[in-house]
Every structure is written in C-alpha cells, then in structure tokens.
C-alpha cells in the first residue's frame, strides 16, 4: 500500500530546493560576471604596469650601461622587502631581436615564448601583456600568474556563496512557517467536513475560505443539500407508507378476527390464526416505521 504523502512536507522541500537552485543559479551568473570583471581589472593592471615600467626600465638600463652595446647578462631586479617572497606579476624587458635585457626577481630566466607584439597573450601559467617603444626596438612583457586570478575568483565566489549557505536554514524555516499558515484553511475545511453527519447537515461556511478552497466548500454544500433532500424524501416516504398501511391493516385484521370466530371448530381456523399473526407483525412493523420517521424528523 502506498504511503500517504504530506502536502506540507512536500511544499517545504520543493520550495526550499527551488530557492536553493535559484540562489545557486544567481551565484553562478554573478561568478561569471565577476570573472569577466576581474579579468578586465587584472588586464588593465597589466597594461598600466607595462606602460609605467617600460620607460623606467629603459632609462635605468641605459644609465647603468652608459649607452654601451655589447655582450652582457640580463639584469635582475631584486625584491627589497623580503627575499623569500614570490611575485604573481613579473616582467621581462627584451630587444626586438628577443634578447633579454632586464627581468624581475621571479621572472623566468629564459625569454617568454610570446610574440613581441603589443597585446595580450596566454602562455601556459602566464597571462602576458606586451608593450613596445615607439621605434619597436625594445619591448616589455608583463606576466601575471593565472593561478593568482583563479585564487582571487575562488575567494570572491566563496565570499558570495557563504552567506547563501547561512541563509538556507533561515529560508527553510521561513518557508515552513509560511506553508503551515497557508495550509491552515485546508485543515479548517477538513474539520468542518468531518463534523457533518446524518444529524448535522448544516452548510459549510465558505465566506472566510481562500478563493482556491471556495469551489470545494461549494461542492460539499451541494452534496450536503442533495443528501438532505434524499433523507427528507426517504423519511416522508416512510411516514406516508406507514400511515397509509395502518388503516388497511386494521380493517383486514378486524375482518380476519371475525372470520376466525365464525370458523370455530372448523379445520381452517388454525390457518386463519396464522394469517392473523402475520398481520399483527406487519402492523407492529408499520408502527415502528412511523415512529422512526417521526423521530428523524425532529
């Protein structure tokens, strides 16, 4: 046998699951928008860093080298705050030929395998922005670790989701209270219908019911009216039948009793007495039927 399902529980679970699904959908859309915004912000930071560093790096390198040309090693720009710190943004300064002139502390020793053309490039774990001088003889390539963007995005999404996770129990409790309050008229209507029986066929009050429950109340009232009509017709039929049978039964019984007296000593007298007992029982049954009809009419 299939177990009855709770409408209240089903509504609570369904509404809570729907709210959570909508929140997650909104969070995913917000996370995608946030990812695009972060990418734009980080790309703008790379571009601005390249634009600021390129003239400084060229001037510093020329001052250090005294405008001398020749074979040399790429200069490394050390970190001054913490020698053990790691950079998520690095840069390399290169000639148009690809020769490495300067690099930041954590930048790869070998030149980045990215074209020396102004613009953005994705290369392995790096997001690179390349910017050249007006003569296109020196280029700077500023690279940001993709993991840094990923970590920033994950941290932002978690900061967005955690409040939702905390609000889910509160939302479920609010939905529970709302559903319980919304189901209350259904319980009231159910109690009213359960109180109706053969001795209580009063109509159900539908004025205070919600619009959705009024058709049910009207249908029950219609059913009660039809039952009341049927019961009234049954009582009327029983009362009329009992009343109509009393006079013929009384006359027949009187005639039969006279016949029994005339058949004194005749063999058929006993059969007549049996018929008399049957008529007496029929008269008693008619009297009871009339009394029942009168009692139910009260």
| Separation CA 281–CA 222 (nearest Å) | 40
Question: Is residue 78 scored above 60 in pLDDT?
Answer: no
Cβ atoms of residues 153 and 162 within 8 Å: no
Q: CATH fold of 7-164, please?
A: Beta-Lactamase (3.30.450)
What are the sequence ranges of the domains in the chain? 7-164, 214-297
What gap in Å lies between CA 232 and CA 223, rounded to an integer? 14
CB 145 within 8 A of CB 42: no
Contacts of 12 (CB under 8 A, 6+ apart): 172, 175, 176, 179
Residues 192-219 pLDDT 10s = 888 887 677 788 877 777 888 888 888 8
Is pLDDT of 81 > 80?
A: no
Going 279 to 283 to 284 to 285, the CA torsion angle's sign is positive
How many Å separate Cα 156 from the centre of its chain? Answer: 26
Reference 293, options 243, 252, 222; nearest CA is 243
Pairwise CA distance, residues 144 & 82, whole Å: 19
User: In angstroms, rounded to a whole number, what is the distance separating the alpha carbons of residues 234 and 223?
Assistant: 16
Q: Are 249 and 268 in contact (CB under 8 A)?
A: no
What's the CATH architecture for 214-297?
Orthogonal Bundle (1.10)
pLDDT digits (tens, 9 = 90+) for 216-247: 888 888 888 888 888 778 777 777 777 777 77
Indicate the pTM of the whole model.
Answer: 0.53
pLDDT score of 84 more than 50 = no
Token pair listed for 38: 């972060």
d(CA 280, CA 277): 5
Between 214-262 and 146-194, two packed helices, what is the crossing angle to 10 degrees?
30
């Amino acid at each position: 046998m299939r177990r009855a399902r709770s409408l209240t529980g089903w509504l609570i679970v369904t509404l809570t699951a729907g709210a959570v699904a909508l929140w997650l959908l909104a969070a995913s859309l917000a996370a995608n928008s946030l990812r695009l915004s972060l990418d734009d912000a980080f790309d703008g930071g790379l571009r601005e860093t390249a634009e600021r560093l390129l003239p400084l790096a060229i001037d510093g390198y020329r001052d250090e080298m005294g405008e001398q040309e020749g074979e040399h090693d790429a200069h490394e720009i050390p970190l001054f705050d913490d020698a053990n710190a790691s950079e998520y943004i690095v840069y390399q300064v290169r000639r148009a030929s690809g020769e490495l002139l300067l690099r930041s502390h954590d930048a790869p020793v070998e030149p980045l395998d990215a074209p020396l053309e102004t613009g953005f490039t994705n290369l392995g774990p790096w997001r690179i922005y390349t910017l050249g001088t007006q003569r296109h003889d020196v280029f700077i390539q500023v690279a940001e670790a993709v993991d840094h963007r990923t970590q920033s995005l994950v941290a932002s999404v978690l900061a967005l989701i955690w409040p939702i996770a905390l609000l889910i129990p509160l939302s479920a409790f609010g939905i529970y209270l709302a559903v319980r309050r919304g189901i209350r008229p259904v319980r009231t209507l159910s109690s009213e219908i359960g109180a109706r029986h053969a001795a209580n066929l009063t109509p159900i009050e539908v004025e205070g019911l919600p619009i959705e429950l009024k058709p049910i109340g009207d249908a029950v009232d219609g059913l009660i009216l039809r039952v009341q009509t049927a019961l009234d017709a049954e009582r009327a039929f029983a009362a009329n039948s009992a009343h109509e049978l009393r006079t013929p039964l009384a006359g027949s019984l009187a005639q039969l009793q006279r016949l029994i007296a005339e058949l004194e000593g005749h063999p058929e007298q006993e059969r007549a007495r049996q018929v008399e007992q049957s008529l007496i029982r029929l008269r008693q049954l008619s009297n009871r039927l009339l009394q029942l009809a009168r009692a139910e009419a009260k």
